[in-house]
Chains A and B, each alone.
Chain A
Amino acid sequence: MTRKKTLLMAALAAAALIVIYLFLVNHAPIKLRRLALTGVMLGCIYGLIALGYSLIYKASGLMSFVQGDIMTIGAFLGLTFFTFFRGLFGTGEEGESNVGTFILSVLLTTAFAFLFGILLEKGTIRKLLNKNVMAIYVVLATIAISYIIQNGAQIIWGGIPLPVPSVFTVLFVQVIGVRIQPEMVLCVILSAGCMIMLHFFMTRTRMGTSLRAAAMDAKAAEACGIDVSLSTGLTWGMAAGLAAIAGILVGPIYGVYTMLGANIGRKGFSAAVIGGYGNMYGAMLGGIILGLAETFVAGYASSTLKNLIAYILLIAFLFIKPTGIFNERAIQDV
């Protein structure tokens, strides 16, 4: 995309957001406003997961089914860090602000997940690819690892959701006239922050350019002196980091439980397809569309349909527009 086009699109998106905001504030009933806010929040989570899928697809041409499980691990790890630091730095009283410790936990969890992602790529995926295993088996390997982590988490932590202590002193904040948990605002801000940082990292830094080059044409990038193996590893690490962030952000809102990541991870595929599988911006947009669709269906239709809408959208997009909103063509075969 050219610079001009990007700016134009950003401007259009901003204008649309302002219009939607004005509409919500002035005309929309309270229920609609609440659903819109929850939808955006949930959408950010889906977006982060889908972003990981897209990064991995671009870098390795593979689908990874481990994202959701890394999210689960991230949620539990985040909770563990958070409780630990609260005990260490805070007084442990109700109504105490824990923003600092929370951010610290986020950073630590992300770092761990980042390492995990690199290890996953270097230890399993790369090894298999070097052995000339067919791509289909490499994808299966990620599925196998996903089952192992899923069931492993079940064995370790059991099936009961764990509550996460609140991060802020206040229990509610007012946004466009709706009282919501402040953690939801934090979730949206941090996700948007991740997205913006990722955008600038990918387009403005040397490292990001190398990553994109390696993803586009591994052989050519290698010829230009880019360490493709390192780039691929880093990409998997970043994808894992994003998944873990999603996990830790969602914890204070939904609680932490072992099937958390599996469900969101599976639905995240839908977000990736909606936006255009393999496209960074599409992933985030697809996530938000999916989040809104889910909350609105839950609010105005039924909860059964809410559980299905992600899958219905996924299949519908494969039928009608498999390349997604951003028309990502990398997924087409003969």
Chain B
Amino acid sequence: MRLPIPERGGRGNAVAVMAALAAALLLPAALTFFFGNDYPVFICCFILIYIVAVSGLDIVFGYSGQISLGHAAFYAMGAYGSGLLVNFLDFPIIPAMLAASILAAAIGALLAWPASKLVFHFLSLSTIAFGEIVYQIITHSPGKITGDFIGLRSEFVNLFGYLLDRPGKFYYLALALTALFLLAKTYIVDSKVGRAFLAIRENTHAADGMGINVRKYKIVAFTISAFYTSFAGAMYMHMVGYASPDTALQKQSVLFLTMLLFGGTGTLLGPIFGVVTVMLLVEALRDFQDYQVFIYGILMLIVIVALPGGLYGACKDVFHRLADKPGAMGGEETGDAA
């Protein structure tokens, strides 16, 4: 069976990147022209934010092989943390986003510490528990500073006097930030650290024998991942100017996990594929809100049973077959012959 090979670095072809960037730059104008309103651009902003969040989840799941079922907690902590810092401590927005994410990542490191000594399942338990605790705190905050069930309002980003109060304006900031986070991900993955993550995912005992401090790197992976997802939450807060307690619900964690699995784990493009398709699917199935979790479950099961490389893996396979050149897994057929 074909399983995804996590990708690391490589000189991506510059032309494709430039083309993608040009398309991304022109997208809002085209969408607004085509649909006549900026709702599609709003969705695009969400797609960018989710790409950051899901790429973060990929670092912990796709690379280091640990399950987190509570990443929504970090998403919410980023959103609420940044909002609270802006509202109550008068932080400027960008430093607030950073501070909130760093704080959330630090809490993430602490949470990952006990689970790092245990078999991978146990991170899923502590993250579930943590998610529930965060949800309860947000909805039952002291002095109702988080707005409890109503949610929290905060400000739009003000970039050198230019207020990003419309999705069309926020989009470009989000694009730049997302690009930055994706670049950082390729850098982390293409280094000693990234190899250590993969080694842990593949075989913790051998990783230990090869001089990798398994516990430390498990915590590092989770911390980076928490930082990514929290920052995505902070972006969401200041794009919409509001965060709802629903962001901390388990359903949100499930959404992230579904996007990651469906797109393909352990790759740069997988999360992007996953976020875009699942977002479009959710939009298309707006009338079937009640069936959402059901659909997530089915998507996950399809991937696990039949599409281990996710959508991206499948696309790559088809591409390689059409181009008739052996893919990264091409060695499979010939590997034993030589």
Report A's interface with B, CB cutoff 8 A.
Answer: 61-63, 128, 131-137, 139-141, 143-148, 150-152, 154-155, 266, 269-270, 273, 277, 304, 307-308, 310-312, 314-315, 318-319, 322, 331-334
A211-B37 Cα distance, complex, nearest whole Å: 63
8 A Cβ contacts from B123-153 to A: 124-126, 128-130, 132-133, 136, 140
Report B-chain residues with C-beta under 8 Å of the C-beta of A310: 129
B297 within 8 A of A: yes
A307-B136 Cα distance, complex, nearest whole Å: 8
Contact of B301 among A144, A266, A304 (CB under 8 A): A144
Report B's interface with A, CB cutoff 8 A.
Answer: 1, 3, 61, 65-67, 69, 111, 113-115, 117-122, 124-126, 128-130, 132-133, 136, 140, 204-205, 207-208, 214-215, 254, 257, 261, 290-294, 296-298, 300-301, 304-305, 308
B208 touches A151 (CB 8 A): no
A134-B198 Cα distance, complex, nearest whole Å: 13
A312-B136 Cα distance, complex, nearest whole Å: 12
A141-B214 Cα distance, complex, nearest whole Å: 26
Name the residue on B nearest A304 (C-beta).
B140
B215 touches A332 (CB 8 A): no
Known: A270-B129, A273-B125, A308-B136. A331 touches B294 (CB 8 A): no
A155 touches B291 (CB 8 A): yes
Report A-chain residues with C-beta under 8 Å of the C-beta of B111: 315
Instruction: Report 11 cross-chain contacts, Cβ distance below 8 Å, ordered by A residue.
Output: A63-B125, A133-B304, A137-B304, A139-B121, A140-B300, A144-B297, A155-B291, A155-B294, A304-B136, A318-B125, A331-B121
A147 touches B293 (CB 8 A): yes
Interface centre among B65, B122, B296 (most CB of A within 10 A): B122
A315-B124 Cα distance, complex, nearest whole Å: 11
Q: How far is the CB of A184 from chain B (nearest CB, A)?
A: 26
Report B-chain residues with C-beta under 8 Å of the C-beta of A144: 296-298, 300-301, 304
Name the residue on B nearest A311 (C-beta).
B129
B119 touches A331 (CB 8 A): yes
B1 touches A147 (CB 8 A): no
A208-B126 Cα distance, complex, nearest whole Å: 32
Contact of A333 among B113, B136, B214 (CB under 8 A): B214
A132-B205 Cα distance, complex, nearest whole Å: 18
A152-B117 Cα distance, complex, nearest whole Å: 36
A113-B136 Cα distance, complex, nearest whole Å: 33
